Amino acid sequence: MIERYTLPEMGAIWTEESRMRAWLDVEIAAVKAWHKLGKVPGEAVAEIEARADFDVARVAEIEATTNHDVIAFLTNVAEYVGESSKYVHYGMTSSDMLDTGLALQLQRAGLLLERDLVALGEVLKRRAFEFKDTVQVGRTHGIHAEPITFGMKLGMWAFEVSRHLKRMRMVTVNASVGKLSGAVGAYNNIDPRVEDLVCEELGLGREPISNQVVQRDRHAAFLSCIAIVGASLEKFATEVRHLQRTEVREAEEAFGKGQKGSSAMPHKRNPILSERMAGCARVLRGNAMVGMENVALWHERDISHSSAERIVIPDSCILLDYMLQKSTRLFDTLVVDDERMLANLGQSYRLVFSGAVLLALVDKGMLRDDAYRVVQDSAMHAWREGVDFGLLIKQNAEAMAVMTPADVDAAMDPAQYTAGRDVIFGRLKDLEF
């Protein structure tokens, strides 16, 4: 991932140094496991633990000749260790080290993403209660529908983030799986107990039956979860982008001192973070597709997945970490204009109460089809003429034959929505991250 979208803590997990450090952790754990099984003498274990190391530049230099990164790495480790290096990688194949090392990286990355999701969820929940009573028009198809509160919208997103947190925990556990079963996974040259001991020491799960690799459905699920989280962030951002439009202007991204919105138009205050989230989400979806393509490998394995994974797994983790942290900041500082929300609600001449009036007419004995016709006729008149919908209902002879003006006022009282709001925020109160 380019430096622009790489935050330090997540970026550090995916450096070449960290990748090879995970490899070395696997190799040392395997040596210790063999020692417990009586294969490696204690002095060799001590020597390996004390001296085993690598140099990324030296590994690259060796790989230029070997054209094999694992062999280059092991050769460099042997240069540090000396004679006892004969016990390093004993009975293993490259993927034993590669996939188990990758599992360590995925585990660490998943924990950071979980932390990011918790932070975003907590901000959304807090701000949802802040705007619990901030009335806003609800829109369907971009058209005024019925009143909601802005807090309801944020609370709905908080629940969505909580679902993502559960998914992320699950896919991280499922992807944090090692294998030390040797070539083709049949334990032909390695004791199955080594695999158990290594995975236990490293805090990883174990692939119950592998071929030469950990099965890639695990990684596909991890990348898919990341993409789904990104899709939600895009959804949240798309709403902000709409609300910041000049014609709407109900909420906007915070605009910092010294910030500039346009090189040509000094007045501009653009939803740049939200637009950036929308663009980044597209990358995550593409990477998830690569993860699915990597599931089908030839026979016991090929390495068509390897080159793609080197790109999409680090990039997806780094990019989602960036997106989550930026989204948390966006919603923590989001500027909300409650007066503009009320003004926009008034633009539709109280048509948002058409459903309530429809039900009031039905409750007074009118057939639903007749009630619908009466309400729709008055509603269309309100749109065409710019007249208050409630006034038109009171002037409608059919409506007034079964209702009184007081009945109309009661049906159009915004307080009728309070009960549902209390239920919604009662549920949100119990949400924990």
Q: Which residues are catalytic?
A: 141, 262
Q: Which residues contact 278 (CB under 8 A, 6 or more apart)?
A: 234, 237, 238, 241
Q: Helix or strand or coil: residue 377?
A: helix
Beta bridge partner(s), residue 202: none
CA dist 54 and 80 (Å) reads 7
CA dist 179 and 76 (Å) reads 23
Q: Which residues contact 180 (CB under 8 A, 6 or more apart)?
A: 26, 30, 92, 96, 100, 190, 194, 195, 198, 199
Residue 352's nearest CA partner among 375, 318, 329, 332 is: 375
CA dist 112 and 374 (Å) reads 57
Query: Tell me, what DSSP letter sits at residue 298?
Result: S
Q: Angle 354-363/368-385 helices, nearest 10 degrees? A: 150
Helix (H) or strand (E) holding 145: strand 143-149
CA dist 64 and 305 (Å) reads 22
Cα–Cα distances (Å) from 300 to 18, 182, 215, 221, in that order, read: 28, 12, 10, 20
Beta bridge partner(s), residue 148: 136
Query: Is-contact 197 142, C-beta < 8 A?
Result: no
DSSP 203-230: T-EE-SS-SSS--THHHHHHHHHHHHHH
